[in-house]
Structure 1
Amino acid sequence: MSNSTNQLLKETPNDHPIIDVIKNRWSPRAFTDMPVSQTDLQSLFEAGRWAASSNNFQPWNFVWGIKGSETYDRIMKHLAEFNQSWAKNAPVLMLGVIDTKTPDGKDNYHALHDLGQFSANMALQAHSMGIAVHQMAGVDFEASKKEFEFPEQFHVATAIAVGYYSNDLEQLPDDLQSEETKKRERKKQNEFLFNGSYIHREEL
């Protein structure tokens, strides 16, 4: 199901060729009021399910709620006030949670990386369906972990808003409307690539 006609296409000044699903995906704060069906949500979760995972431990866990449900409201109350100001427009809210221990009880230092792989898969699948995903760091990690009764070894790593892209910016506070149309920015490759040591690096 696609609703891409409502998407504002941001300028993405890529320096090298990339596929459209990566070039055109971004994280909006404006959403239409069109519900995301459970069938479509399951496609997003299925895409995440097949993400790469260290030792195949799959340490990711998700709490999800549809707008109007108790779970949605329970997630919303733990978002930072700034995020609440726009995330209230999203038809779905999620929490991404990691198990910080391996099955044999050791520290899983790759769990957060694996959750990121899941979330990236999910975001690209969503974009291919005209659905947007916006991940948030602004969530009360400890309070939301307690709210949803996760054991001590678990960590709530991110909150996620999901919904169809919208070009209706009036739903946002004035100071956020310009953020929806500004050009995307990323560091240049030579700022983070090291063909050798960090200090004595060679540029591509």
Structure 2
Amino acid sequence: MSDPKTDVLKKTPTDHEIHDLIKNRWSPRAFADTPVSDTDLQSLFEAGRWAASSNNWQPWNIVWGKKGSEAYDRIMNVLVEFNQGWAKNAPVLMLGVFDKKTPDGKDNFHALHDLGQFSANMAIQAQSMGIAIHQMAGLDHEKALKEFKFPDTYHVATAIAAGYYGGEVSDVPEDLQKEEKSERKRKKQDEFVFNGDYVQRADVSES
């Protein structure tokens, strides 16, 4: 019998040694039918809670809902159609929101970075629990802001689908199934790491 834990792993061609929780994390569009419990979600949110934050302002906010709930349907309704086509597989949907202002009303240029740290912490905690996290930019940001009654100083930055690894690729729209099975790719370090001045790199993207 195959091992579901290894069946869902993608090949990650790393150039240097990294932790398995990072190496094996990826963002599927298919999820197992296994429900995500409130206790599991609280662990994910707790991991995010302890992320680094500029001045400890913690500008992040998370809206969440489980499949079958009103909150889930409301989140689904602010996703773009492309993401709705596969996000319906996820047992949990979330929105990542941040306050654009500091407590004294100035622009907080680090707020999006801090929400990203929250999400990264949450994703690694999720990976340790066999839970996959798929973050999405494709949503109607203004509609989401109004739908969930956030003040105008807030921005809905991302949507997040969450659920246990192990879903059926056939549940994903046909044009995305190949991507579910493909090898992961990343830029090489020398394209974005500089021990000194920035140097523009030649375009090495594949045609």
Bucket of the pairwise TM-score, normalised by the shorter protein? over 0.9
Q: Tell me, in whole angstroms, the C-alpha distance in 2 between the residues paired with 1:173 and 1:89.
A: 11
User: Which TM-score applies when normalising by structure 1?
Assistant: 0.94
What code does the residue aligned with 2:59 have? P
SS of 2:72's partner is helix
Give the paired residue count. 199
Equivalent residue letter for 2:26: W
- SS of equivalent to 1:176: helix
Aligned to 1:47: 47
Inter-CA distance 55–104: structure 2 relative to 1 (3 Å threshold): same
Per the alignment, residue 30 of structure 1 pairs with 30
Tell me by how many angstroms 1:5 deviates: 2.5
Report percent identity of matched pairs: 72
CA RMSD of aligned residues (A): 1.5
Q: State the alpha-carbon separation in 1 of the partners of residues 79 and 7 from structure 2.
A: 25
Give the distance between the partners of 1:76 and 1:30, measured in 2 at CA.
16
Asked if 1:158 is matched to 2:158, the reply is yes
Give the direction of change, closer, same or farther, for the CA distance of 1:143–1:23 in structure 2 (3 Å limit): same
- Measure how far apart 1:4 and its partner are: 5.6
Note the C-alpha offset of 1:9: 1.0
Correspondence 1:41-190 to 2 at 5 A: 41-190=41-190
Deviations 1:110-166 (A, max 9, x none): 000000000000000001000000000001000000000000000000000000112
After superposing the two structures, state which structure 1 stretch, 160-169 or 65-74, moved more.
160-169
Equivalent in the alignment of 2:204 = none
Alpha-carbon distance in 1 for matches of 2:4, 2:50 = 25
Unpaired runs of 5+ in structure 1? none
